[in-house]
Every structure is written in C-alpha cells, then in structure tokens.
C-alpha cells in the first residue's frame, strides 16, 4: 500500500527513516549478544514512534472517505490521542476523544495540548470506557454521524499493521529477534505480520495482559502471516499500566546516563528493563542480534514530573 494523499506524503517526507543505535553495555557484549534500538523516537516530536506507523494508512483511509471528524479513545496521558489531536489539526480534520475516568480539575499537559490543538475531550466512566473497546471497525461506534470515523483504542485496526510492517522493511541488518512494548499489541501484530522468520517478543505494559494473545491472533487473521514465533512477556508491568517502582526508575536513569537515550517509564522503560533482565537470565543465545523498537512517547514523561 502507498499513500496517495498529498498532505500525508509531505508529512512522511518530513519524518525520514529512523536509524539503529547499538547499545554498548559490557554484560550484553560478554554474552555474545548484540542489542540495537530502532530509533522511531526520532521520527517526530509528537507523532513519534509507533504513532505514525499505526496512523498513516488509517488517516489515508479516513481522508479517502471524506472524513470530517475522527473519534477515538484513550487514557489521560495517551500518546495515541496526543498524536491524533496534533495530526488532526495538521490535516484539518476535527478530532474527538473519549477519555477514561473523570475530568481532572486541572488538565495535565497531554490533555492541555490536545485541547489546544482543537480536540474535543469527553470523559467517560471506566465501565463505559470498557464498553467502547468492543467497537473495532471504523464505522462500528453506535450513533456515528455521516463524515465521522471511529478509531479504536491505540489505533488497533488492520490498517495499522501495514504501517508498522514498513518498519521491518527498513531494517538493513541481519537480526534474530524483534522486541516491542505492548499496550494493545497492535504494533507487535504489525511486526509479526512482516517478519515471518523472526522471533518477535512483546513486553506488556499492563497487568493481566494474557488477553493480548487473542487480540494479536484476531489482528493477524486477515493477514497472510504464518509466524508463530511471537510471545508476550507478561511479568514486566511493575504493578500495572503507568505504574512504576523505584527499581524501574533506577534502571531508566542508569540506561539514560550510560546510553544518552531518553526512555519513558510506561512502555520503553519497561521493555528495556525486561530485555536486560532476560539477557542476564541467559534467555537469548550467544550470537543473537536483537532489535528493540523505541516506540517514542517521550511526551508521557511529563506525567511523571508534574
């Protein structure tokens, strides 16, 4: 699939191709393992990491349908909604968000940005939020008006997989394992669909995430993918989504200082903690090359300092 919309083509040109950075860390090299980060965090300050990958063909589809408004859902620090609000403003499409939980008295910086970019914010109860999760197609949300497009949580649609698959095609290095943090596991499904002979490891950012296995299988159903070499690590959630513990923050600080690469504690910090832990347990074989995807989301760091 290729983009046809001129604005999206221009936006894509401005992003360029993300590079690979090798992580130099004595205990990793001693095990004969090479670890690289695919720097999707560099793609754009806001539509960074997996956001552009997942959104690009969805936006193309929405524009083909003459969509005037995209409605989506997420938490109060959602990178997905943040990127959507920004790109909606850029493309001249109205955006609306169904946000989990009560409206806070003072909007955090993620929500303030979204509001500034013209997104309409609607706060929904946790039980209503859970119900919204069952609407998985662009026209599935009850009450949708003409010209409105429903975008499921985290951009979990078949079209998102096509953009993520392009990331795999960009990797100009022989490798054995791809690693990625998981929220809805849509990004993982995209990687699996495009890397038929590789091991793909996900790191769940939330607790009790076994159900993600079904979600991935459902997303892969419409692809020609026969890769069964994927697995989601469930034990690196640190208490739940957006929950942190001192050992995680300690790890992130050490990693950032040693590698001069910024992480955030919701997704990429947990994934890299998990990768380091698995390496130290001898999970990977000597000689293996691992590519971990830096999925961006650094704006989320503001939620931990404000």
Ligand X SMILES: Cc1ncc(COP(=O)(O)O)c(C=O)c1O
Residues that bind ligand X (CB under 6 A): 49-50, 79-80, 154, 181-188, 267, 295-297
Please, which residue, 143 or 181, has the CB nearer to ligand X? 181
CB closer to ligand X out of 31 and 229: 229
By C-beta, is 88 or 296 nearer to ligand X? Answer: 296
How far, in whole angstroms, is CA 255 from its chain's centroid? 21
For the CB of residue 97, give the shortest distance to ligand X in the complex, in Å.
14
Spatial contact of 227 and 195, defined as CB atoms under 8 Å apart: yes
Q: How far is the CB of 283 from ligand X (least distance, A)?
A: 21
Write out the DSSP string of 145-183. Answer: PTTEEEE-GGG-SHHHHHHHHHHHHH--S--SEEEEEES
If the CB atoms of residues 58 and 188 are measured against ligand X, the closer one turns out to be 188
Q: Which residue is nearest to ligand X (CB)?
A: 297
Helix, strand and coil in the chain, % to nearest 5: 45, 15, 40
Minimum distance from residue 153 beta carbon to ligand X (Å): 8
Q: Is 98 left (phi over 0), alpha (psi -120 to 50) or beta?
A: beta
Shortest distance (Å) from residue 280 CB to ligand X: 23
Q: 30 or 88: whose CB is closer to ligand X? A: 88
Contact assessment for residue 39 and residue 19, using Cβ atoms and an 8 Å cutoff:
yes
Candidates 284, 63, 84; CA nearest to 177 is 284
Separation CA 261–CA 264 (nearest Å): 10
Which one, 88 or 181, has the nearer CB to ligand X?
Answer: 181
What's the first-to-final CA gap in the chain, in angstroms? 41
Site of tokens 């992580």: 23
Q: Minimal distance in Å, beta carbon 49 to ligand X? A: 5
| Identity of the residue, 279 or 296, whose beta carbon is nearer to ligand X in the bound complex | 296
Phi and psi dihedrals of 290, rounded to 5? Answer: -110, 135
CA atoms within 13 A on the CB side of 249: 8
**11-13-15 Cα angle (round to 5):** 75
User: Shortest Cβ distance from residue 187 to ligand X (Å)?
Assistant: 3
Closer residue to ligand X, CB minimum distance, 230 or 267: 267
What's the min distance (Å) between Cβ of 215 and ligand X?
9
Angle made by CA atoms 267, 270, 273, in degrees to the nearest 5: 145
Least Å distance, CB 91 to ligand X, is 20
């Amino acid at each position: 699939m290729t983009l046809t919309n001129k604005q999206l083509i221009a936006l894509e040109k401005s992003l360029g191709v993300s590079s690979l950075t090798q992580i130099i860390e004595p205990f990793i090299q001693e095990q004969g393992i090479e670890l690289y980060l695919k720097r999707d965090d560099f793609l754009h300050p806001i539509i960074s990491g997996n956001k552009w990958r997942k959104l690009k063909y969805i936006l193309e589809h929405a524009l083909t349908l003459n969509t005037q408004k995209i409605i989506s859902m997420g938490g109060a620090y959602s990178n997905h909604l943040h990127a959507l609000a920004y790109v909606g403003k850029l493309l001249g499409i109205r955006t609306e968000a169904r946000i989990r939980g009560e409206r806070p008295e003072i909007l955090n910086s993620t929500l303030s940005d979204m509001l500034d970019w013209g997104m309409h914010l609607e706060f929904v109860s946790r039980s209503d939020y859970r119900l919204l999760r069952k609407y998985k197609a662009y026209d599935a949300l009850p009450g949708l008006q003409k010209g409105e497009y429903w975008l499921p949580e985290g951009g979990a649609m078949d079209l998102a997989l096509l953009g993520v698959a392009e990331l795999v095609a960009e990797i100009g290095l022989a490798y054995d394992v791809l690693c990625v943090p998981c929220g809805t596991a849509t990004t993982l499904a995209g990687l699996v669909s495009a890397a038929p002979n590789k091991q793909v490891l996900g790191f769940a950012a939330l607790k009790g995430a076994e159900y993600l296995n079904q979600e991935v299988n459902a997303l892969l159903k419409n692809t020609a993918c026969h890769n069964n070499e994927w697995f989601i690590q469930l034990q690196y959630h640190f208490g739940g989504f957006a929950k942190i513990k001192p050992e995680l923050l300690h790890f992130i600080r050490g990693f950032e200082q040693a590698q001069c690469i910024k992480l955030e504690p919701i997704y990429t910090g947990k994934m890299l903690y998990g990768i380091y832990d698995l390496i130290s347990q001898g999970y990977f074989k000597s000689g293996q090359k691992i590519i971990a995807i830096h999925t961006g989301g650094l704006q989320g760091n503001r939620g931990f300092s404000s």
